[in-house]
Chains A and B, each alone.
Chain A
Amino acid sequence: MRTSRFISLLAALALAGAAAAGTPQRVVSVNLCTDQLALMLAAPGQLISVSRLAHDADSSALVDQARALPTNGSRAEEVYLLAPDLVLAGTFTDPATVAMLRDLGIRVELFEPARSLADVPANLDRMGRLLGRGAQAAEMIAAFERDLAALTVDLEPRPRAALYYVNSYTAGDRSLAGDILRVAGFDNVAAETGLDWGGVLPLEQLVMLAPDVIIEGRDYPGQARAEDNLTHPALAALTHTRKAGSLTDRDWICGTPQVLHAIGAMRDLRLSLEPAR
């Protein structure tokens, strides 16, 4: 039993060596966002493992497809034993892991976290080329741009919205979340405070800004005092502000076509504000 597994591992390693020049045959993803890009674009059997977060329904937008694949804990040892010929990682993946895998002769491709909607077609294109699936990627890019145009809201006036996450974090205009708000027809109040990427928005400042809408970050499992800011009574006391509930995190964090779900939800929110105005 064990010997046969070892032999198949050796065979796989040999195969990996052979295919290194051409299209990768054993692709391992160790980052939630590359998981999703690869799940959408890889040929059947090409992607052999996804990161552990990909199986978490709150974080992963493609959890059903991901559950068909085994997960990895994103550490060099287990990734190496999967005998990949291409590892997909994020620029925030532990640099020691990336360096180790590269030292072991494995090709590692790093994807930056998306900072705008323009990163979505760019990511699809790059992933398509890496996986030898350029045609599928081009199709997806066209569909994404068509859907994005259809969802874009161009109504005046633009309500002032605040994204308010755990620990009083907010996202600015130069972030993916900020871009989602913009396309859905909102102005981001973070811009009024000079936060363009994002950062801490003190509760007192948020209240003084009195945005038209507050969209809260997700509630994580378990308890943390850091989440208390989301339930502070001062937010409820703001009578002219609509509390729009919490966002579906999985559609907001990765630069993949799943952001269209987030844009759709924000568009619905924007349109629901219309008659009252």
Chain B
Amino acid sequence: MKLAAILSALLAALFLGSLLTGWAAATPAAALRALIADDGTPLSVVMQDIRLPRAILAAMVGASLGLAGAALQGYLRNPLAEPGLIGVSGSAALGAVIAIQTGLSLAFPLALPLAALAGAVAAVLLILMLAGPRGGSITLILAGIAISALAGALTSLVLNLSPNPFAAADIVFWMMGSLADRSFLHVWLALPFMAFGWVLLAATGRGLDALTLGEDAARAMGIDLSRLRLMLVLGTASAVGAATAVAGAIGFVGLVVPHLLRPFVGARPSRLLWASALGGAAMVLAADIAVRQVLPERDLKLGVLMALVGAPLFLHLIYKTRREMA
């Protein structure tokens, strides 16, 4: 419970920090007053229509990625499983890009998260099929590389075929992710899908705990493994798909956060789930504050920052598991 309190306090502080970070120079007091004032001044518009949705979205996206990472790692019993690395985010981005480029998302806004979800489902199923129930590191990483590469190539192809001269520049967004100038439209679009995913993933906790003892033991404890698998697939795809549809593919959150928090939860997957959701939200909020502090005029992509933190950790994890992989 102490961990929950610490993470919640951190999350609240970073949420506030995110609200107070940005171009417009205003004292924190004035900014927070403008957040609730209904006066239509430029500062209120900035606070209510630009910064608030951005902070909310950062927390939602981070929670989704952290939770999905923890759940995948628990199910595959492999600390290298992460939505970005195994190609789920990339496939979700492909789905989103197809929805946008076909004009489907214009005619029917929900097509955007739905298509991202479809892409994510396909990737998760493919990964589980290729990596097997035990999720060996080599097959997992190789399958992830293949799916990521294919999804990335197809995303680039679709965007290069677009008649819009700016579509090709969007490749960076879809591969690296950004929360710049997102609005409440995106919050409302993603929230139902994310919430559905959170509920499903949170419900996998007992099953994941049992699974740490092995599949036979889990079955003996009355865990329906195929049902657990279905909840994991749908939950991950729904949460990660919605996050990617509005913010692009942000990697490494689901890798770094569970890794950092695992020692504090006694390595119990069920506790790691909620802790990673809170931690992921905090991490993406922190990264989104950083991108605005480092290069305020450029839309520095979140994925760049996350990769700078996450890739060395990923290498470290591979180094640690190299005996298993040899």
Contacts and interface: CB of A to CB of B under 8 A. Distances in A.
A114 B248 CA distance: 37
B48 A223 contact: no
Contacts of B293: none
Given A202-B23, A204-B23, A221 B163 contact: yes
A26 B211 CA distance: 78
Contacts of B165: 220
A203 B31 CA distance: 17
A238 B45 contact: yes
B214 interface: no
B50 interface: yes
B42 A223 contact: no
Contacts of A220: 163-166
Interface string B66-102: 0000000000000000000000000000000000110
Given A229-B181, A237-B49, A200 B42 contact: no
Interface in A213-247: 220-229, 232-234, 237-240
A167 B42 CA distance: 21
Contact of B103 (A166, A203, A223, A226): A223
Interface stretch (B8-16, B167-175, B199-207): B167-175
B23 A223 contact: no
Interface in B35-50: 40, 42-43, 45-46, 48-50
Given A220-B165, A224-B167, A205 B50 contact: no
Contact of B296 (A202, A229, A238): A202
A21 interface: no
A48 interface: no
A168 B174 CA distance: 18
Sorting the interface of chain A by its residue count into under 10, 10 to 19, 20 to 34 or 35 or more gives: 20 to 34
Interface string B256-300: 000000000000000000000000000000000000000011100
B298 A200 contact: yes
Nearest to B167: A224
Task: Report whether over half of chain A's contact residues are helix, strand or loop; otherwise say mixed.
Answer: helix
A1 interface: no
Contacts, number: 94
Contact of A166 (B43, B166, B173): B166
Given A202-B296, A238-B42, A233 B183 contact: yes
B166 A226 contact: yes
A223 B167 contact: yes
A37 interface: no
Nearest to A239: B40
B181 A207 contact: no
Interface in B132-179: 162-167, 169-170, 173-174
Chain B CB within 10 A, most for which of A199, A209, A210, A233: A233
B22 interface: yes
Contact of A207 (B46, B106, B162, B167): B46
Contacts of B22: 204
Nearest to B100: A223
Given A168-B181, A221-B163, A208 B40 contact: no
Nearest to A227: B166
Chain A CB within 10 A, most for which of B103, B183, B184: B183
Contacts of B50: 203-204, 207, 232, 234
5 contacts: A227-B166, A233-B184, A234-B46, A237-B48, A238-B40
Interface of B: 22-24, 40, 42-43, 45-46, 48-51, 100-101, 103, 105-106, 162-167, 169-170, 173-174, 181, 183-185, 296-298
Interface of A: 166-168, 199-200, 202-205, 207-210, 220-229, 232-234, 237-240
The 3 closest A-B pairs by CB, nearest first: A222-B164, A234-B49, A226-B166
